[in-house]
Structure 1
Amino acid sequence: MPLSSAVPPEGVGPVIPRLPAGYMWLGSIAVVILTALIFFGIGWSSATPRPVSDTGADAGFARDMQAHHAQAVEMALLIRDRSNSEEIRAVAYDVATSQQHQNGQMYAWLQDWGLSQARPIPPMAWMDSGAGGHGSSPHASQGGAGGADGAMEGMATPEQMQALRRSSGAEADRLFTELMIRHHQGGVAMASAGVRLAETSTVRDFAALIVDAQTAEITALQELRRSL
C-alpha cells in the first residue's frame, strides 16, 4: 500500500517517516557546528580587543610617560643622597617607588599590544592629532624647563640635571623642588592628553590617576618649597 494512503490504527497519531540514521547524525553535527560558530562569533566580537595603533595616543602615552617617569626617578634618587630634609627625602622616596612601578605597567602594556618600546614617531607627536598624528607637537615648546630629548614637556635639561648632581644640602632641596614641580606640570599636561585622546579605558583610567596624583604632589612641593 502506498505511504500516502496508509491509515494509522485507531488511537495512534499520524505516522512520520523516519530519516535514515546517517542523515540524523549529519543533521546533529550541523546544528552543533552552527551553534559553535554563532557563539564563537559573539565571543570574538565582544572579547577580542581592537588592535592598538603603533602611532596612536595609547602607545605614544605609554612610551613618552615611561621616559618622563624615568627622569623623575633619577632626580628622586639623586636628592635622596644629597638632602638633609626628611620631608624632601620622603617625597623623593614616593616619587621613585610609585613611578618605577608605573613604568613597569606601561612597559607591560606595549608588550601585550605586540608593540616595540621604541618610538616610531617624535616624542609627544601623538598629542597633536589624537590617534596617529605625525606632526610636531604644539606642546613641545611649552615644557618650561625645555626638553632633555628634544620635545618632552616638563623635562629638565642636561645642564639642570648636572647642576642637581653637583648640589647638596639646602641648595639641592631648592633645585629639586623647582625641577620636580615643573616636571610634574609637564606630566599632568601629558596625562590630561592621555585622558582625552586614548582609545583604551586602561590608558584613560591610568592617565586620570596620574593627573590627580601629580596635581596633589605639585601642591605639596610648592608648600614645601616655601618653607626652604
Structure 2
Amino acid sequence: MTSAVRSSRPMVAAGGVVLLLALGLVVLMLVRPSSSAGSAAAAAAPSGTSADVGFARDMSVHHQQAVEMSFIVRDRTSDVAVRRLAYDVINTQANQRGMMLGWLEMWGRAKSSSAPPMQWMGHTVAHKGDGSLMPGMATDTELDALRAAKGRASEVLYLRLMTAHHRAGAEMAQAAATAAGTDEIRNLAAGMARGQQSEIALMADMLRERGSAA
C-alpha cells in the first residue's frame, strides 16, 4: 500500500465527520424554529378561564342540541321550508362546532369544564333544568315531545324551540364578539349573532304562516 493511499484514509474519515456535523446543524436549524413557534403559539393561547375558551366550549354544546333537533324534525315533516331550514342549521352549526373544537384542541384547552356554563360572561344564568344545560336549550321533556310529534305539530314545536334556542345563542354570541381576545372567536361570534337573528325573523314568519307564534 502506498503512502498516498494511507494518508487519504484519515482525510476521508475526517470528511465524513464534517459531513455528519453539517447535517446535524441543518437538522437543528429546522427543528429549533418549529419548536420555538410551537412554544410561542402555546404561550399566546387564551387561558382556560377566558371568554374565548368559555364561549367555544359552551357554544359547542349549544350547537350540538340545535343540530340534534334539526335531525329530529327533518324525519317528521315533509314540509320543504322546514326541512330546508333544518338542513341549514345542521350544516352551519355542525361546521361552526367543528371550528370551535378545533381551536380548543390547537390551544391545548379541554373541550369541557366543571365550571358553570356561561360563567365567562361574568354572571350566573338561570336555566330550565330537566336536561337543559343553558338558556335557550330544550329540556328532555321538550325533546321527547318533538320526537313524538308529526307533520304540522312537529314543525310548530321545532320552530318555537329553535327560536328560543337562537335567541339565547345570539345573546351569547354577542357577548363573545365583545369580550373575546382572539380574532377567530370575535369574528365567528359576530357572524353567528347576525345569522341567528336573521333566522329568528324567518322562523317568526314561518310560525305566522302556521297560525302560531313564538
TM-score bracket, shorter-length normalisation: 0.7 to 0.9
- In structure 1, what residue type is equivalent to 2:89? V
TM-score (norm 1): 0.72
Q: How many Å apart are 1:69 and its aligned residue?
A: 0.3
Distance 1:126 1:173 in 2: 34
Structure 1 pair 64/147, CA: closer, same or farther in 2 (3 Å)? farther
Q: What is the aligned counterpart of 1:85 among 79, 85, 89?
A: 79
Residue matched to 2:136:
154
Q: What is the aligned counterpart of 1:190 among 172, 189, 193?
A: 172
Q: What is the aligned counterpart of 2:121 among 124, 127, 130?
A: 127
- In structure 2, what residue type is equivalent to 1:121? A
Matched, 1:215 2:197: yes
Query: 1:153-190 deviations in whole A, cap 9, x for unaligned?
Result: 21011110110001001100110000000000010011
Residue matched to 1:202:
184
Higher percent of residues as helix: 2
Larger Rg: 1
- Determine if contact 1:147/1:156 at 8 Å carries over to the other structure: no
Residue matched to 1:101:
95
TM-score (norm 2): 0.76
Residue matched to 2:65:
71
Matched, 1:59 2:53: yes
When the two chains are superposed, the root-mean-square deviation of aligned CA atoms in Å is: 1.8
- Determine if contact 1:54/1:120 at 8 Å carries over to the other structure: no
Distance 2:101 2:174 in 1: 20
Query: 1:57-88 deviations in whole A, cap 9, x for unaligned?
Result: 10000000000000000000000000121000
Q: Secondary structure at the match of 1:98?
A: helix
Distance 2:44 2:55 in 1: 17
Query: 1:109-162 deviations in whole A, cap 9, x for unaligned?
Result: 00000011111411111111xxxxxxxx34x22x6xx35655512101111011
Report the number of matched residues. 173
Structure 1 pair 122/150, CA: closer, same or farther in 2 (3 Å)? farther
